[in-house]
Structure 1
Amino acid sequence: MTSPLGAAGEIAIRSLIERAPLASSLAAAYKSAGYKLALVGGPVRDAILGRLGNDLDFTTDALPLESKKILKIWGENIWDTGIEFGTVAAKRGDTTVEVTTYRSDKYDPESRKPEVEFGDNIAGDLSRRDFTVNCMALELTTTNPEFIDPFNGLADLAKQILRTPVTPEQSFSDDPLRMMRAARFASQLNFEIEAATLSAMKDMASRISI
């Protein structure tokens, strides 16, 4: 389940942790409450690419109401407008964090709004995400941070390729807006869209209108 980062990746992750000390602080708060916490998605991808921002996304096995309790103590301000989907956000200093409970999504074919089921493992949570380069995580509540990469996102990041973690037909059927995100990421990151993913985008473009 883990994937070797290599020297450059390890340096990038250490830099992320050093420049985002609040991530370690938040992880300590979750760990003391008996929960796991992992940095996930864009912040991990961007750190490996040498880009760091002030918005951090996390995933946890804590249910949303438990996250809300922890963040009320940890943060200066919190908001829970996304709690139905498992997300609670907080701000501390200049940093905004979003913490989402492990979850799986089920979609009605005629709707982009998922039916959310909360899960108990990070691999299942990562599988619902849009592209493999956004399916990487850094578990922060272990003795040493653990890099998690079940869909080989690091390899795709090195090759500058956008690929879905499940079949592109399933991914785009679940959420057609992922096709637009593919185009946006390809432009922003100067990445290529993997052939099967691009083919599915062309075949399924009409679903964007649902």
Structure 2
Amino acid sequence: MSPTIQRCYARGLRLAGFMLAMVLLPNVMLAQTTEPKATSPSHIFSLSPAELFYKTQLGYERRAGARNSFGVLGSYYYGNVGVNEGWQITGFYRRFLSQQFPTGFYVQAQASVLNCVQEIHLADTKTRQPYNFDYRATSGGAGFGFGYRTPLLRQLAQGRLLVNALLGVRFQHRPQPTYDANIYQPQTGFLGETDENDWYMGPNPSSLPHGLLSLDYTF
């Protein structure tokens, strides 16, 4: 390795270390100065019963300071309502705005991985004969949203049962299908829509708008 490359590499490491320290230091100081009492709940398990007719979704969330949390959602879509069948893993960060974790208004940032199968309806460009193509995709995505969580049956559940609602937008990348576009083309509907357009429509794991309605249990 030449001396010039070594110097550039060393400077890059120092710059990366400085940027990492600038990101972590405020969070460490915030956690030290605003950490809730030890008796405050630190973990949340969630279930989305209102969506069980088209998907199964479970989640886990952990407090990271007085107003911050990190979590993960695991979902499996049956494909009986939307066009996609498969699984999706979503990691998220939440910043609570009006109250401390785990209740109140919050803003959420998220990143996800999707693996699914979608049946695409095609037509032969010469004979116009229909052809169904099983489109299989693994893709990444990101998004954000705003939500609100509040206790449910406070006295009966001793404040441990919560209801959580979120609305947001996301973008899930759609890999290029592998069928031969010189032979086949997507069939169009009454309004000119295709199965490829349905990728971004709901209720699919790749839809642009997205929402969440869950029952949460704190412990």
Q: Specify if TM > 0.5.
A: no
TM-score normalised to structure 1 length: 0.25
More helix by share: 1
More strand by share: 2
Larger radius of gyration: 2
